[in-house]
Structures are given as C-alpha cells and as structure tokens.
Structure 1
Amino acid sequence: MHKPKPKLFAAVTLAFVFSIAPALAAPPSSAERVMISTVDAEAARHLALLERMVNQNSGTRNLDGVRKVRDMLVPEFEALGFTTRWIAQDGVNRAGHLHFEHKGKKGTKRLLLIGHLDTVFEPDHPFQKFERLDANTVKGPGVGDDKGGIVTILSALRAMDKAGTLKGANIEVALTGDEEEAGLPLTISRADLIAAGKRADAALDFEGLVVSDGKDMGSVARRSAGNWKVTVTAKSGHSSGIFSAGSGEGAIYPLANILSAFRKELPEPNLTFNVGMVAGGASASLSPNDANAEASGKTNIIPAQAIARGDMRALSRESIERTLAKMRAIVARPFNGGSATFEFEDKYPPMAPTPGNEALLAKLNGVNASLGLEAMAALDPLKRGAGDVSFVAADVDSLAGLGPASSGDHTAAETVNVPSIWRQAKRAALLMTRLSREKSAR
C-alpha cells in the first residue's frame, strides 16, 4: 500500500478527525450489541487471565518466562480459530515472537494487531505480583504495559466470535517478545513484524491508552528513538598549562561546548534530544552495555577523555536526518588540542501522522459515537514514547494506544484502570468488525 508523505503534527489533524467522525456515527447494530454485552459478561474471565500473566515474570531477558506467557496464550487464541506461529530469536539472545493468524473472507482488509509479551521487570526486581487495589484498579508488573493490552485484544476477539463477526475477519496478531529491549540487530529481531506490516491493510497497536485532562486520546503518531554518543580525546598534562597553545583545553570543555551547541542549535518541532550520561577525566570509558561509565583524574591533570551519551526522538525521517547533519557538523568544529567523534544508533523509526492514520482515528470516532462515547482527539506525539507499531507505520495505515489506561508504567507503581480495559475492548471489537468488512487495497 502506498503511504502518503507525512506532515507536521498540527491542529489540522484534529480538524480532520472531528470533521469526519459525525458522518460515521451510527447506532450499534444487533451484532455490535452482542459484542458490547459479551465484553461485560466475560470481564471476570479476562481479569483472571491478566492476573495469571502478570504473576508470571516475563522480563525481556527472562527467556523462559516470556515463553511461559506464550504458553498461556496459545490455547486462548487457538480456541478462536487462530493458527499459531512461534518465531524463535536465538540469534539475538531473545525468547522469540508469537504470531497468530485468522483467515476470513477473501478480498477484505487484513488487520494486524500488535502487542508484546515482555516487561521491563526482570526476575531480580522486587515488583513481581498482581494486586487488586480496589474495584477499578489493579497493580502489577506489566499489568498495563502490555499484558493489559493483550487481554484487551482477547476480550475484543472473543466478543467478535460471540457475535459471529470474527468468522469473516482476516487478522494477524503479532506479540513481540522483546519490545522493551529489542534484540540486535533490528534487521533480524523486527524482520517478521515488518513483513506482517507489508501484508496488512491496517495496523492496530494495543499499547496503553493515554488519558489527557480526563479525556481518552487517539494516537496517530509516535516519535522515533535512537541513541547518540560523543567522544572527545585531547592532550593531557599538568593543569598549569591549560588553554595554552601547547597544552590545549582538555576534553571536558570542548564536550561542554558541543552539548551547549546541541541545546541552542538543534531544537525544532516534535524533536527532543536528551543527554543521559556524561563522564570525563584523565581517563573515561563506558561499560560494554553503555549503561555505566568509569572516569578517573585529578584536579591538576588536564582531562584527556570525555564522553556523553543520550537519545534523540523525532516525528519524521527528514527531521532525524536534518538533526544528525547538524550534530555531526557541531562535533566536527575544531578546538585547541584534540578532536571529537560522533556515533548514532538508529533504533525505533518514527510513526509519522498521515491521512491514512487520521482516517483510522476518524473511523474509531465513528465507533465512539455508536458507543455513546466522546470523540477522541489526536494525541500530541510528545506525550508518548516509541513502540513496535513504528516498524510497520511506513507501510500500512496505523493507529496506536488501543490498550488500557495505566499509570506508573516501567516502575513499581504500575497500575491499570480496569474499566478502561472493557471500554477499549468494545472500541476494538466494533472497529475491527467494521474494518474487516471493507475491501482490501492489497
């Protein structure tokens, strides 16, 4: 499918969404009423499944734990008529990816549903168990991100099955096993997801719903994620000679100037660039995982080495390339007594806002009208991070944030709003049913 060129995220997005949504408004059909009631009737069943999954640790590096969550899900999907494909990822030291496929009516749209099996919480983390805080709130590792999203998928599919609308739907479900820390190289670890995107007519991402000022938001865009590193090497010597022609200015002053230039010269809409770690001294180095640094020196020694590491996030490939060109030019500026190098690790691509993505949100707002829910505005992409849907967004119209509303993600305070699971499942069931009846463009 040809994807239109992305545009800057702006008020035009909201105008587009709200102008189309009223035209799609319709009361729920008899099948849709069955889906709505089924989600409510089976809520306890799905909450129990969420509890079982959360109580099974599946930190990204806990390969056996990820596989155990896989084993919980296979019978759930196969009971709905899906076939299972497990894609081992031994070559990138990850557990693998779980794909399910449901074949429906030929010539109709193929939907790709995206979620993930892993969490950020490894077995040695103290946060391990599911806990019910009250009737509307549960707590636990991955309860929202993204085991709550998986439960939302199953609740929606089971509702479709009960209403008879799943039978004709062409659906592929892709649950990655390493979303929180993707295996490298990405050309291997994301190859099957990218291929699934090329097969699909629409991609629906079941990571968390964002609620802003009490309103549910739709995500038609997500920014990229990449890591950069600046390394400065300079002459060392006695501090009494610093700034002289012979001794130079050391490594730390030039690094500070480079970072200051980044802050002043790089800003543009929807771009952020964080400095996550700095080390410098007579010697400085990063650990093999780039998450720790060592430095040594004395006040009377001119520092010979300095390193800074950070990330960069942008909304379009053009913004990424433009920013990288500026960063390289800044790092290449001469200074007294040394040199600097720049490295960039391109990880998650951007999911730029496109007319196709906006049209999906408009269709979701048609569902909202049928459900008697308020229309969802497009979320500012600055308010969420990168995700797996970005790997397919260049090839297929995509919509993110169809999972439940949660808070404290990636911390020991992660909770999920239970009613949002059922609200999102109803939205997803109706949206998938309506999309599945449309003619495929493939």
Structure 2
Amino acid sequence: MFKTISTPSLLFLAVTFTSLFVTSVQAKTPLDSNENNIVKQVKLALPQALKDIEQAVNINSGSMNFDGVKQVGLLAKQQLSAIGFDVQWLDGSAFNRAGHILATHQSNNPKAVKILMIGHLDTVFAKNDNFQKFEMLSNTEAAGPGVADMKGGNTIIISAMRALKKLDLLDNVSIKILLTGDEESSGRPLSLSKKAIVDAAIWADIALGFENGDNNINTGMASRRGYTGWTLNVVGKPAHSSQIFNDEVGYGAIYETARILEAFRAELEQEKNLTFNPGMIIGGTNIDFDLAKSSGSAFGKNNVIAQKAKVKGDLRALSNKQLQSVQQTMQNIVKNNLNHTQAELTFEPGYPPMALTQGNLDLLAQYSQVSEDLGYNVVKAANPRKAGAADISFAAEHVDMSLDGLGLLGSGAHTKNEIADLTTLNKNIEKAAILIYRVSKQ
C-alpha cells in the first residue's frame, strides 16, 4: 500500500530537504465532519486523559521493578480492553525483564492499512527513588517520574484510540499497540527483548512512536540514530618506568590507549551525525571491571609501565552504512599498535538506526498537514542528534513509513526535574487520531 524510496543523499541533506518538503505541502484545508468530531471528543475526554497520566505516574515502574511494570501494564490492559482491543501480556522472563503489553484491533477489511503504535511502561526511576508522585505544577505543567517519558505518550495512544472508537472510525484500520517493559533498560539478548517489536513491524505498514523526541512541538523524529556499545582492551609490556619507549619494552598499555582514543577523535569527529564517547577508562599493572555494576578498579605504581587498560564507550550513527564504515575505521586504528602493545576492540549488539527515508518524510508531511489543518504549527524533521535511541528503531527497517516523537512533550526527562507540557496533550492526541483516520481512508 505504501512505498518507500531510500537514497543515500537523503541522509546528508536531511534537514534542508525536509524543510523544503514540508513547506511545499498544500495550504491549510478544512477539517471534515469526522475530524471536527474527533477534536470535540478529544476535548471532552481531556480530564480523563489527565487522570490516566496521574494514575500511571503514581505507580513506580522502574525497569527492574517488575511488579510495578506489570501494574502499569495491567492499567493499560484495562483501558485498552475497554475500547475493544484484544490485549495480551508478553512475559519477559526469557530476557530478564517484566514483559510487554500487546493490544490488537483487527479490521474486517482485508485491505485495511496496518499501523503499529509504540510506547513503553518502564521509567528510569527505581523502586526506592524518592521521586515517586504526580504533581500538578500549574494549569499547563505537571511533574512526576515518567510523566513525559513516557506515561504521557502512552496516554496519547490510548486517548486517540478512545476518540476513534467512540466515533466508529476504526473500521478501516488494523492496529497493534506495543507497550514495552524495558525501553529504558533493555533486556538481553536483544533478539528476545525486541522480538515483539520486530514481529509487529513485519506485520505493519506504518510505525508510530510516542516518545517525547526532542520535546519540540515544531518537530517530529523522521530519523533516529542507532546506539551500540564498544569495549577497548589494551595490553602492554610491564617493566620499570625508566625503560619506557625503548625497543625492548615499548610504550605500555596507557600510551597505546591514549593513541587509539586520540586517533578516533581526530579521524571521526567531523563525521556528520556521528558521536562516539569513551565513558569509562581504567589502566595500570592490574585492573578489575564489574560489568553488571559498570565499575572498576586499578592497581599501578608511578615507576611501573602499565600492563593493562580498558575503555567502555558508546557509538551513535544515523544509518547502518555509516555505522559499518565507522566501525571499520575504528578497527583499522586499533590494529596500528605501538611497539610491544596489543589492542582489541569489540562492539556490542545495540539499537539499530532509524534511517531517514522518503517514506518517513512523506509521513512527516502528512502529520504536518494535520497539524496545520488543526490551526497548529508546521512540523519539520527534528535534528537526530537531539534525541537518543528508541524502540521504534527496531521497527523502522520493516515498515514503509515511520515517525516518532508524537508523545507528551516536556523537559527534564530521566531527572527529578521531569516536567510535562500539558498544552501539548490535546494537540498531540488530536494529531495522532486524525492522522490515523486520514491514513485509513487512503
């Protein structure tokens, strides 16, 4: 039903092209009678949406608080079942997480467009954290753990479905809603923890993500950078420090580590939309590292050449092609060892990129048109460097179109200053519902 045309040049010209594309969309058009009714229904149901957010936020659902994640999932199950969705709990014990909610509405129309809507149940706030409760700060702002990231986004999904169901506008669209329980701390292996997303995306034509993106009402995430972790292990020849640099001893592990990191920076820092960060380094005569706690210790003396060093870091790229090219460059740097040193660089499985495609730009243009027709702003492509990786990345390569950042916006996500901008609640419910309604008619 939908076709995606992907070209490498889109990656380079993302912001410029998207700006031209969105502004070229037809001028504001009147809402039809169903769309006007959607707006009315959303406004009538707004108090209920606020109650739903408060109820979800007041349940602690840090990723490792399995009981809390299941409680939030049960709340969503009750809400979606009441709308008429078939709701399942997908157990997460195989990947050491609570699990996911999968809700399905199947149209009787065999040609109906199939849409995957993605949210998540978990937050970054642990069970014993002192940031636990929803609080209205004003008529336009609310605070609380996960209020924007992303219990507000889940509410936008459910509220949009309520409005469409109330108006009998779901007949020509099939929908799967996947609320994952491990977005903030993914279970391993990823092949199991993200399987539900991949399976649903293979089924779908379109994927919509309701993360808060870059928290800008004027933008949508038409692309997201992928994430992978990397580990650098370096070994040198131990000896008295007075012998460093000579032909028999060489440079030691710490100098070789410094060479590699500086070469990464010098050769790759100008690469567009790429970042790579060494987040932890330890080195000395002996080192210990606890992967589970992401902490380590080292023993060494000023007059002994360091024998071992370890660096842990991350790498974020906008396309698989860019990721593979950068990884090869990094490996080539690592292999060019200083005298009497050895180094090994390994990459961990991570989040794939959500590459910029013509399909994504087309969907963004449709979303922007809905926004303008409602009397709101033009929506342009967000800078992918302004938002992290997200679950939609596992869906994007399997669908014709994808778009993220459609949730409740705000500020301070992942901190105790997390605040939701409630002026975006009704707007983004309306936009999501009308976008789905319009797509269902195509």
TM-score by shorter chain over 0.5:
yes
Structure 2 CA distance, aligned partners of 1:234 and 1:124?
A: 43
State the 1:352 CA deviation.
0.7
After superposition, residues 18-417 of structure 1 pair within 5 angstroms as 18-19=23-24, 21-22=25-26, 25-104=28-107, 105-212=109-216, 216-267=218-269, 268-289=271-292, 291-396=294-399, 397-417=401-421
| 1:45-91 Cα distance to aligned partner (Å, 9 max, x none) | 11111111111111111111110111111111111110012111111
Give the conservation status (yes or no) of the 8 Å contact 1:237–1:301.
yes
| Partners of 1:437 and 1:101 in 2: CA distance | 19
**Cα pair 2:117 2:175 within 8 Å, conserved:** yes
Residue 252 of structure 1, CA deviation: 0.6
CA contact (8 A) 2:3 2:359 kept: no
Write the letter of the residue equivalent to 1:249: Y
Give distance in 1, aligned partners of 2:93 and 2:292. 19
Deviation by residue 1:230-276 (Cα, 9 ceiling, x = unmatched): 11111112212111222221111110110000001123111111111
SS class of match (2:359): helix
CA distance in 1, matches of 2:325, 2:292: 28
Cα offset, 1:316, TM superposition: 0.5
Contact 1:31 1:164 in 2 (8 A): no
In the alignment, the residues of structure 2 paired with residue 374 and residue 237 of structure 1 have an alpha-carbon distance, to the nearest angstrom, of 66
Residue ranges of structure 2 left out of the alignment (5+ in a row): none
Counterpart CA distance in 1 for 2:369 and 2:362 is 11
- Note if contact 2:215-2:411 (Cα within 8 Å) is conserved in structure 1: no
- Give the letter aligned to residue 439 of structure 2: L
Q: Is the 8 A contact 1:240 1:300 kept in 2?
A: yes
Quick one: distance in 2 between partners of 1:93 and 1:127? 25
- 2:392 match: secondary structure: helix
Measured against aligned partners, the alpha-carbon deviations of 1:355-386 in whole angstroms (never above 9, x if no partner) come to 10000011112211220112111111111111
Q: State whether residues 3 and 395 of structure 1, in contact with CA within 8 Å, keep that contact through their aligned partners in structure 2.
A: no
Contact preservation (8 Å) 1:103, 1:168: no
Mapped contact 2:190–2:349 kept (Cα < 8 A) = no
1:171 is aligned with what amino acid? I
| Structure-2 separation of matches of 1:2 and 1:47 | 37
Q: Which amino acid in 1 is paired with 2:47?
A: A
Segment drifting more, 284-293 vs 422-431: 284-293
Q: What is the Cα deviation at residue 218 of structure 1?
A: 1.5
Structure 1 segments unaligned to the other structure (5+ residues):
none
Output the CA distance in 2 between the equivalents of 1:233 and 1:115. 44
The percentage of aligned residue pairs carrying the same residue is 40
Please report the TM-score for the alignment, with normalisation by the length of structure 1.
Answer: 0.95
Is the counterpart of residue 11 in structure 1 residue 12 in structure 2?
A: no
Secondary structure in 2 aligned to 1:424?
helix
8 Å Cα contact 1:278-1:307 kept in structure 2 = yes
What's the offset of the Cα at 1:211?
4.4
Which position in structure 1 is the counterpart of 2:428? Answer: 424
Per-residue CA shift, 1:271-319, capped at 9, x if unaligned? Answer: 1111111111111232122611211111111111111111000011010
Number of residue pairs the alignment of both structures matches: 434
What one-letter code is carried by the residue in structure 2 that aligns with 1:285? Answer: D
When the two chains are superposed, the root-mean-square deviation of aligned CA atoms in Å is 1.4
Deviation of 1:3 after TM superposition, in Å, equals: 4.3
Q: In 2, distance between residues paired with 1:99 and 1:366?
A: 30
**TM superposition shift of 1:2:** 6.3
Contact preservation (8 Å) 1:17, 1:362:
yes
* Secondary structure of the structure 2 residue equivalent to 1:144: helix
